[in-house]
Amino acid sequence: MSGPLTFMMGNFAAEFPTDRKYAKNHMWAESRGPVIRFGFTAYAVRLLQDVYFLDWTVGAGAALSQKQEIGQIESKKAESSLYTPAAGTLVCFNEELLSDPSAINVDKYGGGWLFEMQTGGKDLMTAEQYLDYLASVWEVTQRTIKGQMNE
């Protein structure tokens, strides 16, 4: 296994392990037998900064379509709805995050995982493809960030 890939977000280096797949909604996907575990990438965590609230609006066993709203998240920088990165069946949420979502900030590729699904994950990208995707959206992201800072 090779080391993580890096995408520079200005002066901040966001790392992406190559042992998992990635979704356009900035989640990583790690195969765990019959299920795939999802969590926020370093890119998403950097943009959100200090997640302090997480709530789910669906339950285990729910059949989900791709891009279906499944919950909300609040952080220092944003309030946002959360959407599924793929179609499938929800297996479970990381219950520990409901009482303390700080693991998302400090252990994004480990204890900060969000949920597990049974899914084919056919729309997921390799780490290399995800970095290409980030490069293609980075200019727009920077303008958005600067716009938020000037509000």
Instruction: Please provide the DSSP assignment of 73-126 as one string.
Output: EEESS-EEEEE-SS-EEEEEE-THHHH-TTHHHH-TTTTT--EEEE---TT-B-
pLDDT band at residue 144, thresholds of 50, 70 and 90? low
Q: What angle do CA 146, 56, 13 make, to 5 degrees?
A: 35
Q: Specify the 3-state DSSP secondary structure of 59.
A: coil
Mean pLDDT on 34-62? 93
Q: What is the pLDDT of residue 11?
A: 84
CA distances 85 to 21, 28, 142, 144, Å, are 11, 9, 23, 22
pLDDT band at residue 90, thresholds of 50, 70 and 90? very high
Q: What is the pLDDT of residue 35?
A: 96
pLDDT (tens digit per residue) in 31-43: 999 999 999 999 9
% pLDDT > 90, the chain: 68
pLDDT (tens digit per residue) in 112-142: 999 999 998 788 999 999 999 999 887 766 6
Q: What is the pLDDT of residue 146?
A: 54
Per the CB < 8 A criterion, the answer to whether 104 and 44 are in contact is no
What single-letter amino acid sits at 85?
Answer: P
pLDDT of residue 151 exceeding 50, the answer is no
Domains and CATH numbers, the chain: 19-123 (2.40.50.100)
Q: Chain-wide mean pLDDT for the chain?
A: 89
For residue 53, which phi and psi values (nearest 5 degrees)?
Answer: -145, 140
